[in-house]
């Protein structure tokens, strides 16, 4: 729960999410401010009257999504950095998520970063398409990321390290990189087993404990599949690597 962990619940988020229809029309502000605190700069900074008048300074912001243009003025004025701009009209498959980011170094425009969710867990690879850092923003730069549309209400931060870069190892035992995995998927390999047979991923000392899940995730993402519908690998003994000597040293009748 938000008050114990800092992570808002699904219900919390549902309460501030614009409709799918509105999101697909163009940029819109999502204000993730769930507590009554004495604070009103979002309301006073909005030039379009899109944030309902605060009768009391402790009121929670309420956005009129039809009036909101997604200009982002409130994003840099929010002392809690709790406002994000979502634009699902960005392209067929991708949405734009604008995130206030008060850290150095800033990522480069065009670079790839690791998009994180509200718990700080990696969600996907994201491209930095724009960085706004004008004087009026008073040292709160806004980073625009493109992410797959289904993650627009999930991605809320990023790590400048590109965990999902082509150079990252997926299978550390057999040294399969993300780039090689992506190439294999592009070549038409469609299951973990196929990828295992062609690349040896999962056949090293850990026997797939690390990479099995990662390969499935990448496959699911690249081929638009749900992980629950995807075939698992075949499991055969031994579950861990053992020395041939151990096998030879068995009972005589075995």
- Considering only residues 17, 41, 111, 221, which one is a binding residue for another protein as defined by CB under 8 A? 41
Q: State the nearest-atom distance from the C-beta of 118 to another protein, in Å.
A: 5
Q: State the nearest-atom distance from the C-beta of 8 to another protein, in Å.
A: 7
Q: State the nearest-atom distance from the C-beta of 38 to another protein, in Å.
A: 5
Residue 137 binds to another protein (criterion: CB under 8 A): no
**CB within 8 A of 134, min separation 6: which ones?**
none
Single out the segment in contact with another protein by CB under 8 A; choices: 17-25, 71-79, 163-171, 234-242: 71-79
CA distance 113 to 120: 13
Contact assessment for residue 34 and residue 12, using Cβ atoms and an 8 Å cutoff: yes
Residue 73 binds to another protein (criterion: CB under 8 A): no
Residue 79 binds to another protein (criterion: CB under 8 A): yes
Q: How far is CA 195 from CA 9, 168, 171, 175, in A?
A: 37, 17, 11, 13
Contact assessment for residue 9 and residue 2, using Cβ atoms and an 8 Å cutoff: yes
* Cβ count within 10 A of residue 204: 18
Residue 55 binds to another protein (criterion: CB under 8 A): no
- Considering only residues 17, 24, 25, 40, which one is a binding residue for another protein as defined by CB under 8 A? 40
| Residue with Cβ nearer another protein (81 or 129) | 81
Residue 161 binds to another protein (criterion: CB under 8 A): no
CA distance 33 to 81: 9
In the range 89-128, which residues lie near another protein by CB under 8 A? 102-104, 116-121
Strand order in the sheet with 122-132: 28-31, 83-87, 94-100, 142-148, 122-132, 112-116, 157-159
Q: What is the DSSP letter of 151?
A: G
| Residue with Cβ nearer another protein (131 or 206) | 131
Binding residues for another protein, rule: CB under 8 A, are 2-8, 32-41, 44-45, 56-58, 77-82, 102-104, 116-121, 138-140, 156-157
């Amino acid at each position: 729960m938000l008050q114990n962990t800092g992570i808002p619940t699904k219900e919390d988020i549902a309460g501030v999410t614009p409709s799918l229809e509105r999101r697909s029309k163009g940029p819109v502000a999502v204000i993730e401010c769930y507590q009554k605190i004495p604070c009103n700069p979002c309301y006073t900074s909005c030039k379009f009257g899109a944030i309902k008048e605060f009768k009391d300074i402790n009121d929670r912001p309420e956005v009129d999504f039809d009036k909101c243009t997604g200009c982002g003025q409130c994003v840099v004025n929010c002392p809690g950095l709790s406002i994000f701009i979502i634009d699902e009209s960005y392209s067929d498959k991708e949405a734009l998520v604008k995130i206030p980011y008060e850290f150095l170094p800033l990522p480069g425009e065009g670079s790839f970063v690791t998009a994180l969710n509200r718990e700080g867990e990696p969600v996907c690879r994201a491209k930095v398409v724009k960085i706004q850092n004008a004087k009026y923003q008073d040292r709160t730069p806004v980073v625009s990321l493109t992410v797959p549309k289904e993650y627009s209400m999930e991605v809320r931060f990023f790590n400048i390290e590109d965990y999902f870069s082509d150079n990252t190892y997926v299978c550390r035992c057999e040294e399969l990189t993300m780039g090689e995995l992506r190439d294999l998927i592009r070549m038409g390999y469609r299951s973990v087993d196929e990828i295992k047979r062609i690349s040896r991923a999962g056949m090293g000392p850990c026997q797939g404990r690390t990479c099995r899940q990662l390969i499935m995730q990448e496959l699911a993402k690249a081929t638009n599949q749900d992980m629950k519908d995807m075939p698992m690998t075949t499991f055969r003994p031994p579950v861990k690597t053992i020395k041939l000597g151990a096998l030879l040293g068995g009972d005589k009748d075995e």
